[in-house]
Amino acid sequence: MDGRLLILCDELPKDYERYSVKDVYYLRSEIIDPDDNPDQLFVCWDAIIPQDRSFIEGCMHYATTYEQMPVDFRLRETGKIDGKHGNIKGSIQEDSYIHAYDRNIALIRSAVQKGEDASGEAMDLAVQYPMQATQQFLEDFSSMLNRNGIVRVLATHKHDVDNKVVQYRNALLEAWQNQDRFMRENASYVKLLNPMVYEDFGQVYVRALDEIMKIYSLPIFGEEQSEERRYV
């Protein structure tokens, strides 16, 4: 089967001797460099779901209170990045939360321009925002998987990461898999593999090799879609 394995891990995003751990800049790219297109795509967790929740909590605050957002707030994302990309951080989840906020602000402005009940619209959107932002993330995650040709996702967690963080990550991925099939043309139909906890990254590397060999043994793309989905 043609397709890539996404491995989420707690290593810093940078180039290592035998592999490279990617950051959000790689995931945001619309064009994949053929020379940097590994079948096993190692990605830092913070590029997807950051441990530092301060930016996301800030989005929640401004989206539910409509207090004036500081001019520099959008530069306060917390996801770790590879140093070669500078010092402006970011993650898929943080992008999703700010995009959901921007969409709600646009809806309120539209209501004002049309002479509609903008205050009522604002109150409704404030209540809905947490669910909207989460749904936006789930859809953005599927889009990222499709853009990068991912067919399997392996979640790995370093042994010293707080258990609450691990539980949150796994729960959010499970929520994504439950929603993915209902995303119509945006659905990825990617399979979420059983997660693992590791002490040494070599354990992840060995597991990734095993999983990529399983991918190679699957039917190739181009067969009838129903057959393909039966295996994913």
Q: What is the pLDDT of residue 37?
A: 73
Q: What is the pLDDT of residue 222?
A: 40
Q: What is the pLDDT of residue 198?
A: 98
Q: Are 173 and 155 in contact (CB under 8 A)?
A: yes
> Which residues touch 54 (CB under 8 Å, ≥6 apart)?
76, 78
Where b means 16+ CB within 10 Å and e means fewer, 111-141 reads beeeeeebeebbeebbeebeebbbbbbbbbb
Q: Are 196 and 154 in contact (CB under 8 A)?
A: yes
The encoded tokens of residue 34 equal 């053929």
Q: Comparing C-alpha atoms, which of 173, 199, 208, 198 is closest to residue 188?
A: 173
Q: What is the pLDDT of residue 112?
A: 93
Q: Kindly list the averaged pLDDT for each block of 10 residues, start to end, along the chain of length 232.
A: 89 94 92 78 98 98 97 96 94 98 97 91 96 97 94 97 97 95 90 96 96 87 42 43
Q: What gap in Å lies between CA 9 and CA 43, rounded to an integer?
A: 6
Q: What is the pLDDT of residue 223?
A: 41
Q: Are 89 and 79 in contact (CB under 8 A)?
A: yes
Q: Is 230 exposed, middle or buried (0-12, 13-18, 19+ CB in 10 A)?
A: exposed
Q: What is the pLDDT of residue 30?
A: 79
Q: Are 91 and 50 in contact (CB under 8 A)?
A: yes
